[in-house]
Amino acid sequence: MSITYLEAIRAAQERALRDDPRVYIYGQDIATFGGAFKATRNLAKEFPGRVLDAPISEDAMVGSAIGAAIEGMRPIVEMQFADFSAVAVNQIVNQAATLYWRTQVACPITIRLPSGGNPGSGPFHSQSLESLYSHFPGLVVMTPATVEDAYTMLLEAVEIDDPVIFCEHKYLYNRLKSDDLPETGLACDTARIARFGRDLTIVAYSAMVHESLAAAEQLRRDDIEVEVVDLRCVKPFDLDTVLGSVARTARLLCVGESWPWGGANSEVIASVVAHGFHLLDAPPQRINSKDTPIPFHPNLWSAHKPSSQLIAAAARRLYEW
């Protein structure tokens, strides 16, 4: 049996619906149509009345989910594209994120954001918004990089009492496959060492974990052993594991697909510099997408986002520094 990243997301939702009567899914075209990416294929048939088509208003979708959560439900909201969640930012950051802190009433909603670039998708269907949502206290922001994590972390997102922004990467949907789904996984705020190495630490998450692993393979030919840390969750993130890795390698390169200014990479680097300055033998570096809107043309898009080649070149410079 082989299961894709996208199928793992569907399977997690199926299990959540089955295990917990408080769970329901709300999103545009997700019932009969099965969702823009088919992440809810057949779930409406299997769970009548619990997989609901929403009007084309992200604002209303999240707002009603918050209300349901207050009344004891555990809604999953599907955005068609992460980019469209910008319409619901008021509900997400002003209402959901602050609710518990204002009222001691939990807000256990999960908002699924199909994120990241695909060739030819352009500025409105490619964005990675993990850095944006990480800025707001009260939100948990997950960025799974593997089929297994897509499954167990989504289940955990539904269980967590805090609002969770679940950034699932579209590029991985059908390209990433695994043999089987696990029963349980690591807790979401624990990073995973995806590859051990002595010479340099790359901290990445989501699709960039795979680009970083490919870069590590390129560098292995020159006897440069790169350690790759998969953050899994960018907020909160597992500083201990990152510091432990930097203690071994003394060099840090952060890779993320969101934009450079004030992002997840910046936060990791700032924390490492503040808590582990004495561990660093070279200035920490980061690679993000270029600081421009995302281009349509596939060639431009390839040059716009971090690639394994760019990561390998940056890692080599850092290693030789």
Partner 1 sequence: MPKVPIIMPQLGESIAEATVVRLTVNVGDQIESDQEVIEVETNKAVMSVTTPCKGLIESLTAEVNETYPVGSTLGYIEASVEDAERLNASKPPGFDQSPALDDAAASQPSPASVSQEHSSQSLEIPGSLDGTAFQSPRLKARLRELGIHPAEAGVIPGSGLAGRVTIQDFEAYLEELNRLPSKKASPMRLAVADSMRRSWTRPLATLGVSVSLEPILAHRKTLSPSPGPALYLAKAVAIALSEYPQSAGRLVGHKIVLPDSIDIGVAVEVEDGVIVPVFASLDKQPLAELPGQYKKFLQAAKEKRLPEEAKRPGIASVTNFGTLGVHWATPIPLPNETMIVGLGYGEKRPFWDEKTERFVPRLEAELTISFDHRVIDGGQSGRLVRRIMALLAAPETL
Residues that bind partner 1 (CB under 8 A): 119, 171-172, 174-177, 210-211, 213-215, 217-218, 250, 277-283, 285, 298-299, 302-303, 307-310, 313-314, 317-318, 320-321
- Distance, in Å, from the CA atom of 318 to the CA atom of 321, rounded to the nearest integer, reads 5
Of residues 193 and 282, the one with the C-beta less far from partner 1: 282
Query: Is 135 designated active site?
Result: no
Of residues 97 and 294, the one with the C-beta less far from partner 1: 294
- Distance, in Å, from the CA atom of 156 to the CA atom of 159, rounded to the nearest integer, reads 5
Of residues 73 and 280, the one with the C-beta less far from partner 1: 280
> First and final CA of the chain: distance in angstroms?
46
- B/e letters for 186-219, b = 16+ CB within 10 Å, e = fewer, are bebeebbebbebebbbbbbbbbbbbbbbebbebb
CB of 217 to partner 1, least distance (A): 7
Of residues 261 and 277, the one with the C-beta less far from partner 1: 277
CB of 150 to partner 1, least distance (A): 13
- Of 125, 169, 210, 304, the active-site residue reads 125
CB of 114 to partner 1, least distance (A): 17
To which residue do tokens 């057949």 refer?
42
Distances (CA, A) of 261 to 116, 289, 301: 17, 10, 19
CB of 307 to partner 1, least distance (A): 6
Q: Are 79 and 45 in contact (CB under 8 A)?
A: no
Which residues are catalytically annotated? 125
